[in-house]
Structure 1
Amino acid sequence: MLDIGVQTARQADPTLLRLTLFGRMEARTLTGESVLPIGGKTRALLAILALSDRKPVLRSRLSELLWSRRPEEMARASLRQDIHRLLDALSPLGVDVIDVQRHTLSLKPALTSVDAERVLTANSRTLGGLLPPDLLLLGELNGIDPAFDEWIDQQRERITLHIKGVCETRLRELRDPDQIDTEAERLLLMDELNDTAWRARIQAALSRGDHARAGAIAENLLKAFERQPDRVPAAQTQALINRVLLPREPGDAADVFQEEMLPGQFVGGADSSASYSSLVHDLGGVNQQKQDVLLIANKNGAEYFASSLASVLFLTFAADAECVEHARELAETLELLLVDLGLISVLTTPSGYTPDAINPMQSYQGMGADYLVSGTLRPAMGGAKPRLVLRVLDVRENAAIIWGTHCEIEVVDLAHTRVMLSAAAQSIKWGIVLAEARRSWNLPRGNLSPLGCGVRAFLLMMNRDGRTFSEIEQLLEHARRKDGQQAFIPMLQSLFFYGRSVCDWSIEEDRCQQNALDAARAVIALMPYQKVYLPMLAAALYLNPKTQGQAKSVFASFMEDAPSDEVILYTIGYYFCTTMECLLAGRMADALLEIEKVRLSPCRSPLYALLDPFFMLISVLAGEGRKVVESGRMLAGMYPHSSGCLVPYLVALVTEGGDSGEIDAVRTHLLSFSSSLTVGRVMRRLEYLPSPQRVLIENALRQAGLPET
């Protein structure tokens, strides 16, 4: 286990509860009074909430971490007791700082601050507040439970990797050799064999013209690696060592200096104004170029924007000898489907290419890959069908898995297999978008490129928080003005305005519907040959009863080509339209089947979350109100500021004869952050529904006590 720490000054902030997790755990009020719980399990419960990135944590997950060796019922009972102990310990605050829901718990961000959280959100500009690691994260809680011990080790590793990443980013930004030396030494305190830090120290010495010092550092580097024979320097590091240490002909020293010095200008030295390009690769230049996709970059004094968000490289799918050819065909099909979707660049591996055996990720990164797609085709056994396991690995995060699934393969029905791969391609694309959005979260908003604005807006959309709608709209509009040729932006705008139409009751419904329609048409205009976007246009037309005839025609035209090109299926627009057609035709059982297809898909796209309010509403109308009540309870705990799912939840409670106290609680919660919500506004948004269904919903909302106007 690594010792990781940070010394932070007490800040004059308004948070009521301040948690210290490095070294001795502390929980103090604004006035310095300790409110730290007494029991180890109770402290561990508070620590888990504090390190969960402000996201709700399922009670079942808490029970697993803290009472892994107890039966489920006993673990749940113990959790309830410790929740009460924790709330009692924090009662002197006078305000609830923990959001306790039926299925989840979370720490309220506006009222609490956590030292470890400040470390995890630190970037290269705020790194100065971090000191070398000397304190262990939650060291006093070791031994609470085997599952908790494993979890806390993962948290320590996560923080260590983040600090390393921040230090490496700062190394790429620095230009002064003295500052580079300081930052490299900080990094080597955490990782004695960090290639980036060693290369930076050598190159800083070369930038001063001090080749003797560069050679001495290279020799120390070799000695450090000799102490750990299971690790060897990366290929780039070895090349740099060879250039520095091996004998050269007179005049060759300048070549080393030219090739290895950091990009930009340095302070001091006769050649301090020299610029060197090869180090862009040596010090993770591929990462810097990747970051430029999300930042507004300048080329010859003018702004330029990338059309591709990330680059993907397919590894050879693993398979038994008799399945090798089939695995190759599956990989090639998935490659082409991902290319058809756009936004993601698919790289090809040169013939005969072999990655570095010691550090393959660095080799792939050198090829320009951001992500790897790996697959394993498992043969049919015991009467079961062959199974394909797919994973997407982040090259820049030491092959961390960001997406994965497994599904059965129809050997005979090739069309079914292609449809399944189409769904996987869609899910991979949006999984990468989410990963890039999280990676760029700490970048200044003002410096974001159009793609950067788009992925940030998408991540905010997935949070389902109505309080961020204005920010999302501004991000997307800024991106559209900056780059009017990027179809990804109006596509997100269409999805956003559809989502907003069922969540934001403070704006006129016509505006949302028209904006969603205009954005969908803009996507078609930019990509007229991409049939995959036609269902989005049809879905926007379906939202207005006056244009439902056009919607049917657009979708019918689209479906004529569907059997020959399954990549157009498994999109959010496709499922909205198929479910809407069933609804309008009165085939409610078929509508439920369409919803079930989405729920059971092994390759669910994150976009499907936008359909939750619509699917919940259809389920209520089809007589599945009890299921909607259960879903509503869960979603209310996970997304307490999303009214889109709360409205059908409220309708379901009434139609199913739910508890009046629960109905009152849901209605009160809804109106607490959607004060403009009325029966009239909801019904105007639902004019696209058939009249009998509208009457059912209207009566339920009145019965629930929602204001009329």
Structure 2
Amino acid sequence: MNPRPDTDSIRTEQPLLSISLLGHMRVMSCTGLSLLPTGTKTKALLAVLALSNRQPVARTRLAKLLWSTRAPEQARASLRQEIHRLMDILHPLGPEVLDVQRHTLAIRPDLTDIDTEHVLRTTPQTVIDLPDPLPLLLEDLTAVDPAFDLWLKEERNRILDHKMEQLEALLSSTTVPGIIMRATQRLLRLNPLNERAWRARILAAMQSGEEGTALLSADTCIRTFQNAIATTPGQETMCLIADLRVAHHHNIQAVQPAPAPPPPMAAAPPLMISATVFVASNDAMGEDGGLELATQFRDELGLDIAMHSVLDVSVQTERFTAPPFQSLPARRQWDFLVGITLTGGNRSAMSCLLQVFDTRLNDTIVWGHRLHITPANLSALSNRFASVLILSLFQTEARRLASKPVSELSPLGLGLRAFTLSVQSDPAQHQTIEHLLQKAEKDAPENQFLFFVHTHYLLTRMYEEWTMPVAAAIQPMVTLLQQKFAMFPGNIAVRYLLTAGLFYVNQPEEARFLLGQMHAALPSDSHEGMLALLDGLDALCRGDAETAFHIYSEFFKIPSTVPLFSAPDQEFILSCFLADKYEATLHHARGILATTPDRSAILVPALAAANVLGQQAVAQDYRQRLHRLHTPLSVQSIEDHYAYLPAAMRHKLCNALGLQPG
């Protein structure tokens, strides 16, 4: 490993040349002129010099890095050509920037600025100011030479190792919980199995009185280790988690209510909505009245919600007599109560009411649904209704804040406002949504809830995007999710959305690998869980419209009483049409368009079905709506928008829409 650059040798005057190596390579003169070489080898030569800490690099070393498969004489001759090209590009800055000697080359220390040097000069006090995550070093410079590729991997590790060292030093030197949470977030992004970071994160949350956050971190830690290396964390970490759970159990068993929270004006605005899940039943039902199933469903539901990492959620381990509100300890510490109220059953099946109560509205019921649960469908229903509950709570909280001006909203409120607008699927709201998210993420850059809203917005926007190919439209979401997935592979929402995104960017094998992992973790043949939606998308991408239609039909039989934000109902309508279920296409499309009339992704397959059935009045209505939405109906737009489907399916849609090539 090379030593760090000498900070005294780097001058503070305006640099003649700025070299950016993080992300895409950029080379700019002080006048704003791009001097980036066009040749791959020339770029690689400059990159090696820029990452050599201003030290001379032997020509023999450069030749071996860039032409390792050539004979030495050929490699040296090629190097001489690239040096001339580089000098020509940097002319007339060359003499000021490059020190070219007979046996060595170097970038002069004066009047040049290199972004990686700023990273390598960070200290524990300044490391938190670095972008997170750091852009990948020389992201666009690959397949140069086997020796160069190995060198580049080592350089990337060198930069990440330095960042990790400074973050770990920061953890050793601070006791401020907020700084610890930020530092551990970044450390775990780099190494999800860093037990010291997990312990510091859990302790910081406990010291801040955020027991729910500590419990969620503990659960995420255990699941991360199980998914990555099929074991639990070490003894020290597990002892800390055990102590946390014992303390939590004592807290919920306490007779006296928790101390009143500080006045709202004195408290920092919350970054997440909080909720707790409990089971309630009448004493007359007894132990055989479905209580065992209800308890299992409660635990699964709480875990599934927690694994989305967007709510501060806990589970009440005792059973309450309905209604439980007066006996639930410190119930005002949560925004919402999620109740599973038994109405009948036995060990093989149970019926219940799944309800949400708003503690700030005198425990008013704000959402509810009747469920019939068996051992066979329990996991699938837990998986599905975790998503339903999360989105219901978002909508309820967004309505509560609807009258507030944007200037008075916290990052949570801004995210909820953006979420509400995203659900409308209105392209006219895109700029407003992006403004809200930008403002929220500036104040809370690492908030999981805001990440959730942002990625869902990108997904729903893709469905209604017709000005660019679907893969290009969804790629920003996939990139965000891949970065998050590297840190939190156990996060349900991230894994689910990444799988969907990979299908849309034509990476079906990677998508099916992740989907297989999720099915292994959720062993259920039920089509009631959220994974059914990915199964349907998988079937469409394979060209099996009939299977996709049956999967989606079974899933959408259950009315969830709230729109599933990530549920691809447009794929359901598309599968109806592609499976030749034209009457069903129009029937289901009418139901969706009744509440969201400007959904172009619904209107296009519905128009195709109306054409096939000869329903000219319906077809004219849908055609006019698409024209008003500026949806281009052409062979190219259909090819681009449905590029993830087999060609035969795209041709079938074009034919039904009356579109002809050329």
- Bin of the TM-score, shorter chain as denominator length: 0.5 to 0.7
Question: What amino acid maps onto 2:280 in structure 1?
Answer: T
Relative to structure 1, the CA distance from residue 448 to residue 679 in structure 2 (aligned partners, 3 Å threshold; closer, same or farther) is farther
1:621 positional shift: 0.2
1:583 equivalent among 540, 543, 564? 540
Relative to structure 1, the CA distance from residue 656 to residue 309 in structure 2 (aligned partners, 3 Å threshold; closer, same or farther) is same
Give the corresponding residue for 1:461: 422
Distance 2:470 2:535 in 1: 23
TM-score by length of 2: 0.54
1:633 positional shift: 2.9
2:646 equivalent among 672, 682, 690? 690
Give the corresponding residue for 1:644: 601
1:622 equivalent among 579, 593, 598? 579
| 3-state SS of 1:647 partner | helix
Give the corresponding residue for 1:308: 272
Give the corresponding residue for 1:513: 474
Give the corresponding residue for 1:570: 529
1:371 positional shift: 1.6
1:389 equivalent among 353, 375, 380? 353
Question: What amino acid maps onto 1:560 in structure 2?
Answer: A
Deviations 1:510-557 (A, max 9, x none): 542212212322431452332553231121111123x23332333234
- Contact kept in structure 2, 1:491 and 1:520, CA below 8 Å: no
Pairs within 5 Å for 1:199-218: none
Relative to structure 1, the CA distance from residue 334 to residue 505 in structure 2 (aligned partners, 3 Å threshold; closer, same or farther) is closer
Relative to structure 1, the CA distance from residue 683 to residue 329 in structure 2 (aligned partners, 3 Å threshold; closer, same or farther) is closer
Deviations 1:595-624 (A, max 9, x none): 023212365763257512121111100111
Q: Give the aligned CA root-mean-square deviation in angstroms.
A: 3.8
5+ residue gaps, structure 1, are 1-279, 293-297
Distance 1:323 1:352 in 2: 14
Give the corresponding residue for 1:668: 624
Question: What amino acid maps onto 2:417 in structure 1?
Answer: R
Distance 2:551 2:574 in 1: 14
Question: What amino acid maps onto 1:597 in structure 2?
Answer: E
- Contact kept in structure 2, 1:584 and 1:690, CA below 8 Å: yes
TM-score by length of 1: 0.50
Relative to structure 1, the CA distance from residue 532 to residue 465 in structure 2 (aligned partners, 3 Å threshold; closer, same or farther) is closer
Distance 1:519 1:537 in 2: 9
Within the alignment, does 1:346 sit opposite 2:313 as a pair? yes
Of all paired residues, the percent bearing the same amino acid is 22
Distance 1:317 1:492 in 2: 35
Question: What amino acid maps onto 2:516 in structure 1?
Answer: A
Within the alignment, does 1:379 sit opposite 2:379 as a pair? no
1:456 positional shift: 1.4
| 3-state SS of 1:375 partner | strand
Distance 1:472 1:422 in 2: 28
Give the corresponding residue for 1:555: 515
| 3-state SS of 1:372 partner | strand
Within the alignment, does 1:634 sit opposite 2:601 as a pair? no
Distance 1:558 1:313 in 2: 24
| 3-state SS of 2:594 partner | helix
Relative to structure 1, the CA distance from residue 478 to residue 679 in structure 2 (aligned partners, 3 Å threshold; closer, same or farther) is farther
1:645 positional shift: 1.3
- Contact kept in structure 2, 1:505 and 1:677, CA below 8 Å: no
Question: What amino acid maps onto 1:340 in structure 2?
Answer: M
Within the alignment, does 1:611 sit opposite 2:582 as a pair? no
1:425 positional shift: 2.4
| 3-state SS of 2:272 partner | coil
- Contact kept in structure 1, 2:465 and 2:473, CA below 8 Å: no
| 3-state SS of 1:684 partner | helix
Deviations 1:238-270 (A, max 9, x none): xxxxxxxxxxxxxxxxxxxxxxxxxxxxxxxxx
5+ residue gaps, structure 2, are 1-257
1:428 positional shift: 1.5
Question: What amino acid maps onto 1:594 in structure 2?
Answer: I
Give the corresponding residue for 1:323: 288
- Contact kept in structure 1, 2:462 and 2:474, CA below 8 Å: yes
Deviations 1:151-170 (A, max 9, x none): xxxxxxxxxxxxxxxxxxxx
Give the corresponding residue for 2:365: 401
1:530 equivalent among 484, 491, 494? 491
Relative to structure 1, the CA distance from residue 549 to residue 605 in structure 2 (aligned partners, 3 Å threshold; closer, same or farther) is farther
Relative to structure 1, the CA distance from residue 281 to residue 356 in structure 2 (aligned partners, 3 Å threshold; closer, same or farther) is farther
Distance 1:340 1:510 in 2: 28
Deviations 1:121-173 (A, max 9, x none): xxxxxxxxxxxxxxxxxxxxxxxxxxxxxxxxxxxxxxxxxxxxxxxxxxxxx
| 3-state SS of 1:607 partner | coil
Question: What amino acid maps onto 1:368 in structure 2?
Answer: Q
Give the corresponding residue for 1:437: 398
- Contact kept in structure 1, 2:310 and 2:448, CA below 8 Å: no
Distance 2:454 2:381 in 1: 27
Distance 1:595 1:343 in 2: 26
The answer to which of 423-432 and 315-324 deviates more is 315-324
1:701 equivalent among 642, 652, 657? 657
Question: What amino acid maps onto 1:664 in structure 2?
Answer: Q
Pairs within 5 Å for 1:482-521: 482-506=443-467, 509-521=470-482
1:472 equivalent among 415, 429, 433? 433
Distance 1:610 1:494 in 2: 14
Relative to structure 1, the CA distance from residue 649 to residue 602 in structure 2 (aligned partners, 3 Å threshold; closer, same or farther) is closer
Within the alignment, does 1:680 sit opposite 2:604 as a pair? no
Distance 1:589 1:676 in 2: 28
Deviations 1:163-205 (A, max 9, x none): xxxxxxxxxxxxxxxxxxxxxxxxxxxxxxxxxxxxxxxxxxx
Distance 1:623 1:568 in 2: 22
